[in-house]
Structure 1
């Protein structure tokens, strides 16, 4: 296949280059974590009274710093390894799906979906396995000190989300620079089709679909899942579970996740073995039924696990006030998060699929020009958030009233419990997209290309569904993290009328705009270099337009890689260092305002 061999090596090259920079960051930030946590009590090895149980002695400052640092490194390493394996699976799957598309669309769908499922279960299982092993190894030292144990485990979620941030930003800069550069010079200046092998940036463009949609968005969910698991464990010890040393109940968040693996594994068979895809119109319903059936079965499993693992009633400490919670109430918190995720998914589908009148109306607006099309599209985009916001708000209200912050934490886990199926559907999208690009580069027949276009169209819609899950779960996880932060810093209330808090709010609300400006400028800087290189090759390589000379794909891939890695550092540093600087110099009240302000604007 013409030029396709460079495609797999380009993806690997990007990851290895990124990991060199990420490794430096990981080491430096691990040292910062150790110094900040260890200096709380002057690197003391003396045991301290536990915050929520003064009669019990908890970890020393030195032990907390050491274990938190190790957990951070483990979370980051797990994310790095999973990212590499995910990219490898995706690149191998692209060529196989292309070959199956020559036979029939059903075979191509099964190949793409199974490849996506492998990635989904890989991320899900790796995170759960490493987290479980880490907890049990750390427990050898902490014993019954659940507070010290789960506080140290929070480093795992930070490590996973940090790597997701680097991959998301770096992959986004890489993709948009390569894609726009290829289109500006190839389609507009040289008047050649999209994904034409004569375009020097076409391989970089195709690689970008993987580094953004596979590595970037997939591990964005990985970070959310790692954080939600850790925050649920942290909030769990602020309960009678930790005081009474109830092992099974303390592991309830991990039991929720393990049930997700089992159910999603069964559900995967429905799309690949129980039902055969024979026509294009059957693709979207097959993916839709995946979400519906997995949600229904997951609800039943959660009810069984809640009944077996939890005591009939237990106590939650909610900002210094004890709250009695029934086991069925905690199950209801998980279930409402699960079903809210399904609602968000279907609203997203309604607003993105051409099978519904909403998208058809946007398409119809094209009759009067581009301006009306943009207006209708923006209006639909703004309307699409109404029902998801109400679904999230209802989830927060009900889960908090039933089980305080612990209820919100497990509601987030419930929404993410189908992440294996969600990632399978999500990864299916870019795999199908790259399959279509490969068919063009390989010069395959128009009939094969029609099949891959159909797979890609369904993948675009389902990818939008997964983004709804990611945003909804991020809202719940952020609130749970904020609640855990306020609880651990012993702030009774966060009063917006306090000058320190209000200043933090407006600064936090400004940060997303600052971050967006930096990333947009980064895309522009990388794009300039790509456009210059593509123009140079068209002008200097003889017979490139005739198709008899092969462009220098590797140079464009290298330029995109180096530019994206270099440009991703400032925005990532802004996100990572802001809480440290604000908390150190202005105190926890100002930091609470910054976190609340940035969270609200990011979700908006």
Structure 2
């Protein structure tokens, strides 16, 4: 039975083969006229230049941390340090591969739009599938190979730390880049100059299009790579607590991931737009088929490896959580429902009421997801037998989290679809393509905004469940009983408040970074409008490279402090205040981080699509006072949903993984 472990690396390889397959299909598509190719090349060069600089900077940090791991840890430090480096490289590769294809699929999608909606959508989905299968393939392959090599879950925690670190930097750096460019281009272009989005006369437009890729392709790719790795390893770690009763408990999460790969491969071919031309329906069809196939396969895997139907029910709970989180996020961020319509309506009375309405929707949007996650935690705990055996209950929660990630390949496909279609619309606008082509790309892009928001909601939910599993493993590592983590203990309370504070300080730093970079972009775009004659008449070409350089340099520089906060805080608290305080910190960061991330993601998505709704002709349409107010609201929402909000996910997991990795150093430490 133990030989079944080799199904996991095999599935990882198959996933990577299909990523290559879809990439090959994309490269065979036409790239349009010379003007389209010129714009696409500028986006490609800007995106790759940024990512290369980012990874060179992060590589230095990774080498230093690998050395510290080797020096500070007493047991298996060499293996853990190697795992850390490989995890970092794999996470970087997941984002790099996906973005490399996305910046080439964009122009091909724009060109395919001349053949109609179905063809353009197919190209965009296949471009997104490259990211989806690369992320899952690399995550499953790396985790399983290291486990097979070392035979000890504790020794592969370094792989999870490397993945988490790169994810944090990719999310923070990419988020600063994309939103600084977006905010700068929008405020000067739309509000001050009164020109359309993606107008070639705007000097910030290339940086804006580059940002879509480094934020939502490379950033989300690295984010869900580490979420997948960390969650699976957390489930494997908790599996060690029940090995005596269930010998296959450690490898079970890997096999769930393996069969899910084959489910995703089958389901990608079900994404076909019908005669009703409903794009979101077609995309959800793929997710639904993937979830159904996973549930069928999970039953047989559970029966074969565990033999306890209750664990299957825990996996079922995880898939239900995934579906409900997707639906709730769509409700709060789609133009079809009350929240976005209310924010758009509030724009009629100015930017102030727009911002108030958007904040209110963001706060309101936390209720249903929290109830879903709480129900999922309790449901998976008790169906797995937690009432009689808490270890089984915690394992059930971890399996629910792992099962929730079974559709990661499809979810990343949907996410990468967003920037591909966004870029396709930008290329169509800048190249002056006929209006009927822009109508196709606009239809694709409108759905892309929702898919990006849905993906972030999915990532937040999975992060909460995964972090809870990590917290449980931290308790085992430092021999803490739940009764010791009582709020009447001032040490625990101190740690909890520090943990609850972290997401807010982290968000403040990242949003200030966006503000600094956007300020520089705004001044540069204004300067060019003023000093370069003929830009508005289209007789002169803006200096796009200036804005690209500004946001690249700022993003690289400003991502350092958030990284230090994430790694240093748990180390300091663990050493100075001890393991009890660190346990409190982990509880605090999970609770406040979940709520703040939900508020930012859903509120930002509502602001964004409220602007889109007005641009579609509602409440006065483009150029109206309501539109100007909505642009201001979207400016506030941009760093919410694309910088600070999604970066909280890797923050939570980096802090938890650091606590587990260095747990041996905290035992007996602290002044209390």
TM-score by length of 1: 0.87
Within-5 A mapping of 1:114-129: 114-129=126-141
**What residue in structure 2 maps to residue 263 of structure 1?**
263
1:532 aligns to 2:535 (yes or no): no
CA drift of 1:288 comes to 2.0
Is contact 1:295-1:339 (8 Å) kept? no
2:432 pairs with 1:432: no
Does the CA-based 8 Å contact 1:106-1:278 persist in structure 2?
Answer: no
2:113 pairs with 98, 101, 109, which one? 101
Mapped to 2, the partners of 1:177 and 1:374 lie a distance apart of: 19
1:410-425 alignment runs, 5 A limit? 410-425=399-414
Q: Distance in 2 between matches of 1:391 and 1:251?
A: 28
Secondary structure of 2:558 counterpart: helix
How is 1:460-475 mapped onto 2 (pairs within 5 angstroms)? 460-475=449-464
The 2-side partners of 1:356 and 1:534 are apart by 35
Alignment correspondent of 1:350: 331
Q: 1:522-580, CA deviations, whole angstroms, 9 ceiling, x for partnerless residues?
A: 11222232223323333333433332322222222122111111011111211111111
Q: 1:370, CA displacement in angstroms?
A: 4.9
Number of residue pairs aligned between Structure 1 and Structure 2: 549
Say whether residues 1:296 and 2:332 are aligned partners: no
Give 1:462 shift: 2.1
Query: Partner residue of 1:492?
Result: 481
Name the SS for the 2:577 alignment partner: helix
Determine whether 1:202 maps to 2:205: yes
Give secondary structure in 2 for the equivalent of 1:417.
helix
Root-mean-square deviation (CA), in Å?
1.8
Deviation at 1:365, TM superposition (A): 4.6
Unaligned runs of 5+ in 1: 39-60, 140-148, 313-326
Please identify the structure whose Cα radius of gyration is greater.
1
Q: How does 1:494-573 map to 2 (within 5 A)?
A: 494-573=485-564
Structure 2 residue corresponding to 1:329, chosen from 281, 303, 310: 310
Q: Confirm or deny: 8 A CA contact 1:90 1:116 kept in the other structure.
A: yes
Report the Cα offset of residue 453 of structure 1: 0.7
Q: CA deviation at 1:295?
A: 1.7
Shift of 1:133: 1.5
**1:283-340 residue CA offsets vs partner (Å, 9 max, x unmatched):** 1111222222222221111101001122x3xxxxxxxxxxxxxx11111111101111
**Preserved CA contact (<8 Å) 1:4 1:441:** no
Of the structure 1 ranges 526-535 and 11-20, higher mean CA displacement relative to structure 2 is found in 526-535
Which residue matches 2:364?
383
CA deviations over 1:206-237 (Å, ceiling 9, x no partner):
10011111111232121111100111111111
SS in 1 for 2:270: helix
216-225 vs 409-418, greater mean Cα deviation: 216-225
In structure 2, the residue corresponding to 1:549 is in which secondary structure? coil
Q: Is the Cα contact below 8 Å between 1:100 and 1:111 reproduced in 2? A: yes
Instruction: Report matched runs for 1:447-462 at 5 Å.
Output: 447-462=436-451
Cα deviation, 1:389-437, whole Å, max 9, x if unaligned, reads: 1221111112223222211111110111100011111111111111111
- Whether 1:87 aligns to 2:99 is yes
Aligned pair 1:601/2:611, yes or no? no
Q: Which residue of 1 aligns with 2:175?
A: 172
Confirm or deny that 1:226 pairs with 2:215: no
Structure-2 separation of matches of 1:278 and 1:34 = 59
Deviation at 1:276, TM superposition (A): 4.2
Counterpart of 1:37 in structure 2 is: 73
Distance 2:539 2:316 in 1: 60
Q: Distance in 2 between matches of 1:17 and 1:518?
A: 21
Does 2:218 align with 1:212?
no
Q: Which residue of 2 aligns with 1:324?
A: none
**Of 534-543 and 414-423, the range deviating more from structure 2:** 534-543
CA contact (8 A) 1:260 1:417 kept: yes
CA contact (8 A) 1:105 1:277 kept: no
Per the normalisation by structure 2, the TM-score is: 0.79
Pair 1:284-2:280 in alignment: yes
- Runs of 4+ residues over 6 Å off in structure 1: none
CA change 1:202–1:571 in 2 (3 A) is same
How far apart, in 1, do the equivalents of 2:150 and 2:67 lie?
Answer: 19
- The answer to whether the 8 A contact 2:183-2:518 is kept is yes
Q: Is the 8 A contact 1:156 1:230 kept in 2?
A: no
Matched, 1:253 2:253: yes
Instruction: Indicate if the aligned counterparts of 1:501 and 1:593 stay in contact, CA closer than 8 A.
Output: yes
